[in-house]
Structure 1
Amino acid sequence: MNILDTIITDKKREVELKKSIIPVSQLENTALFGNRTISLSKLLRNGNSGIIAEHKRRSPSKAVINQGFTVEEVVKGYESAGVCGISVLTDSKYFGGSLDDLLLARASVNVPLLRKEFIVDEYQILEAKAHGADVILLIAAVLTRSEIKQLSEFAQSLALEVLLEVHSKEELDKSILTSLDMIGVNNRNLKTFEVSLDFSKELAEHIPAQFVKVSESGISTTKAIKELKPYGYQGFLIGENFMKTENAGASAKEFINALNFKS
């Protein structure tokens, strides 16, 4: 069993335990559940940087990235830097995140927030809405076409946007649905952790124009973004590159300034 399979097995067990303690009605009655969401896809289409910066403490491949920042410090720094959106890891066991991180991010900034999670159940989408998310992530590698359809339609019924992550043409082909807003190509193979921008380049022409194209992982230079823009990418998800520095917000600002200067 690879790391992704292990994570999904643990996640399904975790969701069932949460369901036994916190009923759906409790999530639907939270203060944030009725809030209007902010469109990440519109900002990526019309924004300057296209950067989706990530709050990420650690990962299975890199262990600890940075435990020193508070969520508020990171996300306010990102907002000040001019990012289009912020991705917040909420998985605890493997990434050191939590739903509280999402809640604190929502209380701190007014930019679109993506709940970065291994979503396998509608319950997690309700959690995302209840904790202030604007966007959810669905990972094609761990979901069937019918599951992607069910989960994406449910998310959109709650006014949440959907970023669908793929890593191969097979995953893309099974996943193209009108209930998606953005399609992200993960440059890191979740099974082997191999990283290459070629994944984004090779899949670009197969992604229909109606979806915002997002390139994820392995982006550490402005040169990489300049390479990807001719392929139609408007969003670029960057996590470790900022989080591993002494000041994530300042690092993001320097990166975006350099990007705008060179564009």
Structure 2
Amino acid sequence: MTLLSVNLNKIAVLRNSRGGTEPDIARAAHTCIDAGCGGITVHPRPDQRHVRPDDVRTLAALLRGRVEYNIEGNPFAAARDGYPGLIGLAREVRPTQVTLVPDGDGQITSDHGFDLQRDIEALRPIVAELRDIGCRVSLFVDAGTLEFDAAVAIGVERVEIYTGPYAHAFAEGRVQAELDRCAETARRAQHAGLAVNAGHDLSQANLGTFKAAIPGLAEVSIGHALIGEALYEGLATTVRNYLQILR
């Protein structure tokens, strides 16, 4: 079955908006794991507007030996006061997977993937370092990306398809062309030897259609929609709903 990794960034956003410790990100992780999810995702950013480095460390201790731990982020964002950088965090906590995402400091959320022709040489030493740490490396890519041999050659093991445009097209009732782009990217990546993950704006409404079009989908990372839906149905129930869709 496709692994569900729950992104907990929005739990941290709620906590940070008020200060203090509630809602508690560790308790949220426990709840998701008890409901059956196979992984937890966080995306710490340098401005620490949601998940913070201390959250990354707390979750690492909580998750070890229980479920997969996926840390996302921009490897080119410099370390600064209170933020040791993505590679520094990975070196500290040794997550199962690091998903490299080319998001700038000012972005509200991730909105595009790497250009694998342009960026591959800059990514090469980063991928090598993460592999040496013991992390599986995934690259965030756009639907429509078709050439993956260079990524395989530098040690990348997975790609995560950016599904924001798919979700937008689904909501507008014009999904087929964007779904076909995702499916072809997945097929070409798998043919090159890469496993395929997906994430961004996936929801209970659109996940089933997406999964049916992507045979062998390894993992989905879902946060914004899942946490929003959980406000109405509860976190554990919502996680179980997603697992049922993935079955």
User: TM-score, normalized by length of structure 2?
Assistant: 0.70
SS in 2 for 1:136: strand
Whether contact under 8 Å (1:81, 1:252) holds in the other structure is yes
- Look up the equivalent residue of 1:102 and give its one-letter code: V
Q: Once the 2 structures are TM-superposed, how far is the Cα of residue 131 of structure 1 from its aligned partner?
A: 2.8
Whether contact under 8 Å (2:97, 2:138) holds in the other structure is yes
| Aligned match for 1:107, one of 53, 57, 61 | 61
Q: Structure 2 stretches of 5 or more lacking a match?
A: 16-21, 79-84, 102-112, 171-177
| Aligned match for 1:235, one of 219, 233, 238 | 219
Q: What residue number does 1:259 align with?
A: 245
SS in 2 for 1:219: coil
- Bigger drift between 83-92 and 65-74 goes to 65-74
Q: Once the 2 structures are TM-superposed, how far is the Cα of residue 250 of structure 1 from its aligned partner?
A: 3.6
Q: What residue number does 2:200 align with?
A: 217
Q: Count matched residues.
A: 205
| Aligned match for 2:135, one of 138, 151, 160 | 160
Q: Structure 1 stretches of 5 or more lacking a match?
A: 1-47, 59-63
Are positions 1:203 and 2:182 aligned together?
A: no
Q: Once the 2 structures are TM-superposed, how far is the Cα of residue 173 of structure 1 from its aligned partner?
A: 4.5
Whether contact under 8 Å (2:4, 2:39) holds in the other structure is yes
Partner deviation per Cα, 1:64-93 (whole Å, 9 max, x = no partner):
964352111111112112222111121153
Q: What residue number does 1:33 align with?
A: none
What does 1:107-146 align with in structure 2 at a 5 Å threshold?
A: 107-109=61-63, 110-120=66-76, 124-139=86-101, 140-141=113-114, 144-146=119-121
Decide whether aligned partners of structure 1 residues 235 and 117 sit closer, same or farther in structure 2, where only a CA change above 3 A counts.
same
Whether contact under 8 Å (1:162, 1:180) holds in the other structure is yes
What is the aligned-residue RMSD (CA, Å)? 3.0
Distance 1:254 1:230 in 2: 19
- Look up the equivalent residue of 1:219 and give its one-letter code: L
Q: What residue number does 2:125 align with?
A: 150
Percent identity reads 10
Decide whether aligned partners of structure 1 residues 200 and 150 sit closer, same or farther in structure 2, where only a CA change above 3 A counts.
same
SS in 1 for 2:225: helix
Decide whether aligned partners of structure 1 residues 136 and 147 sit closer, same or farther in structure 2, where only a CA change above 3 A counts.
same
Q: Once the 2 structures are TM-superposed, how far is the Cα of residue 111 of structure 1 from its aligned partner?
A: 1.4
